Amino acid sequence: MSEEQKLQEFEKRIEAGDVIEPKDWMPEKYRKQLIRMMSQHAHSEYVGMLPEGNWITRAPSLRRKMTLLAKVQDEAGHGLYIYSATETLGADRHDLIQQLLNGTAKYSSIFNYPTLTWADIGTIGWLVDGAAIVNQTMLAKCSYGPYSRAMIRICKEENFHKKQGYEIIANLANGTEAQKKMAQDSINRWWWPSLMMFGPPDKDSPNSAELMKWKVKLKSNDELRQRFVDLTVPQAKAVNLTIPDPDLKFNEKAGHWEFGEINWDEFWQVVKGYGPMNKERMKVRNDAHDNGTWVREAALAYTKKREKLN
Ligand code: 3HC
């Protein structure tokens, strides 16, 4: 069968809603797109632990500390699932980690913002994990088997993340004046960066057309962003918090919340490495990697010794 015929067969399978498995024939570009997207997703999970880890020692109660610890551990696990899923495409995990550490690979822009107050931990769970759920429930139906299956378990855990975050925010929003102010200040700082998580507008998205053709993306960046806004605005209203967007208004006819213009200059600045915390996040990641060298060496020495004995 010629390459052209194989491509036609592949596209017929995608059209029919088949799930593509690692050993199946796939166009090189499909493989490359998946490695790019999945590795950056895994990087995001890893770097995403840093803003939250910052508050584990400062959680206001033992219950909040245990919940935050569990969430951060979940994120590490999500990173491992998705790196493992990326390896099924022939990618080498060490190469992927090096790309993160040397700054050549991207991770989600959202994690380059600082967590200034405890309310930010609630907002991250509610908005950031809430956005992740919207994106990842779509990916749970994508055409690549290992990725879609990894998403099924991850989405279950994200739902816990979102619930615990919204509970923190609801408690603060119903608390003292100072707590209400803390919650509102937090949503003011995290609302727009959360909308940016879904990527640039469809018209500026170089990857979306191919990813949608091959059913890796089943919805576009703008469609998912709109879904997130429609889900989240009523949740903010339920706890008497104000979304920091003077242009927000409900369009009865369309059945959607219309929102203001996103600051795409800020988005691209953060993506290019000039966000508030980019340098700090990379330094902490590199320091952790360097400080963990002895652990990797010890594990490798042990494995080699075990192999000799067997
Ligand atoms: N942050 C950083 N880079 C981003 C970005 C963001 N929020 N949105 C887009 N980009 C980058 C893309 O990577 C691409 O650059 P590249 O070609 O060099 O990789 C460029 O901007 C153009 O964007 P596109 O829309 O063309 O890129 P995609 O089609 O890949 O769409 C995406 C971007 C929607 C993030 C898509 O990659 C995706 O759905 N990825 C899987 C989910 C994911 O990575 N989520 C990140 C958050 S993880 C998380 O939330 C953890 C949770 O536990 C809290």
Q: Ligand 1 within 6 A of 45 CB?
A: yes
pLDDT at residue 132 tops 90:
yes
Distances 72 to 51, 58, 280 between C-alpha atoms, Å: 10, 14, 18
Instruction: Calculate mean pLDDT across residues 273-281.
Output: 97
Q: Ligand 1 within 6 A of 199 CB?
A: yes
By alpha-carbon position, which residue is closest to atom 21 of ligand 1? 199
pLDDT at residue 310 tops 90:
no
Q: What is the pLDDT of residue 28?
A: 97
pLDDT digits (tens, 9 = 90+) for 282-298: 999 999 999 999 999 99
Comparing CA positions, the residue from 7, 5, 4, 41 lying closest to residue 210 is 7
Q: Which atom of ligand 1 is found nearest the CA of 196? A: 7
Please tell me the distance from the alpha carbon of residue 139 to that of residue 149, in angstroms, as a whole number: 9
Q: Which two tokens stand for residue 207?
A: 């990857």
Please tell me the distance from the alpha carbon of residue 304 to that of residue 240, in angstroms, as a whole number: 59
pLDDT at residue 269 tops 90:
yes
Q: What is the pLDDT of residue 1?
A: 87
Q: Which two tokens stand for residue 158?
A: 């994200």
Give 291 Cα–ligand 1 centroid separation in angstroms: 29
Q: Ligand 1 within 6 A of 195 CB?
A: no
Residue type present at position 84: S
Q: Ligand 1 within 6 A of 270 CB?
A: no
By alpha-carbon position, which residue is closest to atom 33 of ligand 1? 199
Q: Ligand 1 within 6 A of 86 CB?
A: no
Q: Ligand 1 within 6 A of 246 CB?
A: no
Residue type present at position 113: Y
Please tell me the distance from the alpha carbon of residue 138 to that of residue 156, in angstroms, as a whole number: 13
